[in-house]
Structure formats: C-alpha cells, structure tokens
C-alpha cells in the first residue's frame, strides 16, 4: 500500500479506483505551497490538475515520490526536468478531454459569431435590441486551424459539418492525413490571409509562446476572428486586442490566458469578444475520463509497470511478449546487486530463446534499475536509469542466443563476480529465478532471500534450517542446486522476514558453509 496525495479535486470515480487498488488516498485540497510540501513528505504519488505547481521544491519535499499524475493534458504546471532528474514518472490523460475541448471551441465560435453574450446581457438588462446584435453564419466561411492534432482534427470535422471550408497549418501533419481530414495545408501566413476564423490548437512551449502575435496578425484578412481554447500565451492577447480596437480584427473568443486566473486581460470589455474561464475540459464526461485514466496510470506506475501515458519515459512500450519479463528483469538486477554488495564495474545481459528476437531495450533498462536501486538512495525508474548509470560509469553489454535452449525464454545477468537468470513460466506467467552463480535452482523472486554456498554433503540443509528456526525465521520456499563437479551446492531460500545479522554470522561460522548472502528481489 502506498500513500497517494490528491492536491486538486478529481472525479470520484478516480478516487475510488485508487482506493480499490489498495492504496491510501489523502486529500490535500487548496493548500498553500508550504502546506502541500509538508503533506507530500511521505507520499509515493501526487495527483494534480492545472492549478498546483509541481516544481523542484515540491518534488524535493517528497523523497519517496514515484509518480505525478496530471488529470488532464497540459503539463505547464509540472517541472518535467526536475521530475526526470529525481526518477519521478509524470503521467497525464491525453485523450480525456479532446471531445469536450473540441465542442467548447465550437461553442466559442458560435457564441462569437452570433454575439450571444452581448445579446443575453442586453436582454437581462431589460432591453429588446434584436437589430443591435446581427451575427454571421458559419456556413461557407473559411476556418483556419493551427495545429491538427487530436483536438484540431475534431474541430475540423465539426466545422465541415457546419458547411465551413477548412485550412490547416501543421508542419508535423502528413499530406495524406490532411487529405483524409479534408483540410487544405497552407503556410501560417497564407492561413491568416485567407481565413475568416482562426482557431489555435497547440501546446504552450518555448517555440509556440506568442506564435500568433503582432507580426502574424498584421497580415490577417480584415475581420478575422481569433479563437484560443488551447493554451494561454500561444496567442498574444495584447496583439489581438490592438487589432480589434483598430478595426482590423472582427473579434475574439478566448478560454485560456497567459496568466490564470487572469487579474485582467487586454481583451476584457472589448466588443465582439467572448471569454470563458478555461472551461474546455469542464464537462462531466471529460472529468470522469481524466480521473479514471490518471488513476490507472498512477496505479500502474506504483506497481512498477511501464504505463502508456508517461510523458518523460525514454523507453518504448514493450511488446506483449516482452511485457511479462519487465518485473523479472528488475528483480534479477536487484538480486545480483545484493549478492555483489557493491556496484559492478559492468553488466552482461543475455537473452535466450524467442526473447532474443524481440526488442528488449526495456528489459535491459529494468535490469539496470534493479542494480542501481541497491546503490543509491534516489528513486530509480525508467525515467532516470540511463542518467544514473552514466554518472556511475556502469556499462552494459547485451548478447543473444536465438536457437534452441533449455528454456523457451531466458534472461541472464552477470557482473561483480555473480550471475543470476530467470524466466516466466506457466499459464499464469509466473516469474522464476532458475540460476544463481551457475547453480541450477528454481524459486519465485521474493523480498527476502538467503543464498548459501556449502559442501555438498548430508546435514547441511538441516543446519541452515536450525539456525533460521532458532532466529524465528520461517522458510517460505527453497531450492538447492549442486555444482557441476558435485563438490559444493547452493541453497536459495525465501524467508518471511529478513534474516538477522547474528544468524548470518552463525551461518558463516558453521563448518562446511563457504559463503552466505542476504539478498532481495524487490526494492
């Protein structure tokens, strides 16, 4: 069970999923930064929306943090670089609000085109001014869309349903995909020169901040209406306001702002301007999808899984054939590090059988993560494992044997004078350690392992069992593997708790026992 701190309100379905997974959920809503830093001190996961600033200070206040979940798409409020350095996985819900965002974009378009907010305000003030609020039809107009990703593509489809023609600007969109969408791809300059309405659907990055600014708008078609329901700052609010005042632009509709919540904006109070307080994802359906998606990601990350919506993972998602071996690979690295008692100078990772034909980059990273977890107090994950290995000078060499072997699939790790190997077996895809220091054994990875090398003669198992029994340590499982020449044997035992140091000393002093190592297959 892990502690998950939820710093902003999410849909109850997400909270229920976190609790159902067996975790403790602590609500920490509306806290000041200092208070939130105290609240996450012992947290393994943090769930936020868009208001909480997950900066380096907050991340440092949670040394055991494994994952940050953003219940939404944008990550402007998360310091990804700081999270990556600390090995914290950052996940989001990239598909949760795309429909809601596209529909809200169209709500803004319609509201601006038909001047609905002004008309409502007039009517509520007791006036009946039908002739004062003449609007325009969308049918036959040109909509220019900047950014044809998930939301932009949905907006294009809805525009076409209204009889609009659609221009698009997206350097990353293939011409074939544009044809499928029914969108004419043009340069940004041509788009603003020809469009009647302009809708922006871009993330806010160093490259996109201020993209639609004074220079671009100076070439706009007279009467152009600018819509931004994507991210504040991508469109320069002051430049749009200046264009409206000068009569060059026909109006604007904004759901997002450079600073949120905005104390003021140059757009506020201007005629022909519709503004809403970042409502693009504010539907019941979007909030449910965001909460459940991020809950799934957080639960998976806490279980050590490679989650699909992790935004700072360098590793590709493993294939179905590789995925069951991810946890085993980390366990093998952890056992090897326990046996070595130090960080090896280098590792050799061998893949045998069908596994040797697959993309096993994720498995090698998993082995590295297991080894490094024993040598640093930092959280080690797929996010920072390459960086930590490079800092410590740990190199890895891979080898593959695709021909027939004893096992259908095998992962073997060598380094620091020791070796371990494992496989996945049976219909339940259960992990098994099948070799330790070139002795054949078979037992499941476990948190508490004892590895004993001894003379291969009667009574040795009994002596080990007696010492453990006297120390109130129960043996959960056990495997014994003789050496090739029969002169020695290796016992690997899993126990219900760590073997006390005094018991280890007694075993090491027992005649016929050559070495004793306490090991673990988990962090």
**150-163 CB burial, b ≥16 within 10 A, e <16:** bbbbbbbebbeeee
For the sheet with 45-48, list strands across it: 24-27, 3-6, 45-48, 67-70, 89-92
Q: Considering 278, 439, 448, 517, which one is annotated as catalytic?
A: 278
Could you tell me the sign of the dihedral formed by the alpha carbons of 372, 374, 375, 379, in that order? positive
C-alpha torsion sign, points 135, 137, 143, 147 = positive
Is 230 exposed, middle or buried (CB count within 10 Å of its CB: 0-12, 13-18, 19+)? buried
Whole-angstrom Cα distance, residue 374 to residue 380? 10
193 counts as catalytic:
no
Place of tokens 């590090």: 337
CA dihedral 59, 64, 66, 67 (to 10 degrees): -40
How far apart CA 468 and CA 481 sit, in angstroms, is 20
Quote the CA–CA distance of 369 and 385 in Å, as a whole number. Answer: 6
Q: Report angle CA 139, 142, 146 to the nearest 5 degrees.
A: 130
Annotated catalytic residue within 190, 260, 348, 398: 260
- Out of 169, 231, 330, 418, pick the active-site residue: 231
Per DSSP, 12 falls in state H
Tokens matching residue 156: 């294009």
CA distances from 276 to 252, 330, 396, 463 (A): 12, 48, 54, 76
- Does the annotation count 118 as an active-site position? no
Categorise residue 4: left if φ over 0, alpha if ψ from -120 to 50, beta otherwise. beta
Q: For this structure, is 448 an active site residue?
A: no
Could you list the active site residues?
231, 260, 278
């Amino acid at each position: 069970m892990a502690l998950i701190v939820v710093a902003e309100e999410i849909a109850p379905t997400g909270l229920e999923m976190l609790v159902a997974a067996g975790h403790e959920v602590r609500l920490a809503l509306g806290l000041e930064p200092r208070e939130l830093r105290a609240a996450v001190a012992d947290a393994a996961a943090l769930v936020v929306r868009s208001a909480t600033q997950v900066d380096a200070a907050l991340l440092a206040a949670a040394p055991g943090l494994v994952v940050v979940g953003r219940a939404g798409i944008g990550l402007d409020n998360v310091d990804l670089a700081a999270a990556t350095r600390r090995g914290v996985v950052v996940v989001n819900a990239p598909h949760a609000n795309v429909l809601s965002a596209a529909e809200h974009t169209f709500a803004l378009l319609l509201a601006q085109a038909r001047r609905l907010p002004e008309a409502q305000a007039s009517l509520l003030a007791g006036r009946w001014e039908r002739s004062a609020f003449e609007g325009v039809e969308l049918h036959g107009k040109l909509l220019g869309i900047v950014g044809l990703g998930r939301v932009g593509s949905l907006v294009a489809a809805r525009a076409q349903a209204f009889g609009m023609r659609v221009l698009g600007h997206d350097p990353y969109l293939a011409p074939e995909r544009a044809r499928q969408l029914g969108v004419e791809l043009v340069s940004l300059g041509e788009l603003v020169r020809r469009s009647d309405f302009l809708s922006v659907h871009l993330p806010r990055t160093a490259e996109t901040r201020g993209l639609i600014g004074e220079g671009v708008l100076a070439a706009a078609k007279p009467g152009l209406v600018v819509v931004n329901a994507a991210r504040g700052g991508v469109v320069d609010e002051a430049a749009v306001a200046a264009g409206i005042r000068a009569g060059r632009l026909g109006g604007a509709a904004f759901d997002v702002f450079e600073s949120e919540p905005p104390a003021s904006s140059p757009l506020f109070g201007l005629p022909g301007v519709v503004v809403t307080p970042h409502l693009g994802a504010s539907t019941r359906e979007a909030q449910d999808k965001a909460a459940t998606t991020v809950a799934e990601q957080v639960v998976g990350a806490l279980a050590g899984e490679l989650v699909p919506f992790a935004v700072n993972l360098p590793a590709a998602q493993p294939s179905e054939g590789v995925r069951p071996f991810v946890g085993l690979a980390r366990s093998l690295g952890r056992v090897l590090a326990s046996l070595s008692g130090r960080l090896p100078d280098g590792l050799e990772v061998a893949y045998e059988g069908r596994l040797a034909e697959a993309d096993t980059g994720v498995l090698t990273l998993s082995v590295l993560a297991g080894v490094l977890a024993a040598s640093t107090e930092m959280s080690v994950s797929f996010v920072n494992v390459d960086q930590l290995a490079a800092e410590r000078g740990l190199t890895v060499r891979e080898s593959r044997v695709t021909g027939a072997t004893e096992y259908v699939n095998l992962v073997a790790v060598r380094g620091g004078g020791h070796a371990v190997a494992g496989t996945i077996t049976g219909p339940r895809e259960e992990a098994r350690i099948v070799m330790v220091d070139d002795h054949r054994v078979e037992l499941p990875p476990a948190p508490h392992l004892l590895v004993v090398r001894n003379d291969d003669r009667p009574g040795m198992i009994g002596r080990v069992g007696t010492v453990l029994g006297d120390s109130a340590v129960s043996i959960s499982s056990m495997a014994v593997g003789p050496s090739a020449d029969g002169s020695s044997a290796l016992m690997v035992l899993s126990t219900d708790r760590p073997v006390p140091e005094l018991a280890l000393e007694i075993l090491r002093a027992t005649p016929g026992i050559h070495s004793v190592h306490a090991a673990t297959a988990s962090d």
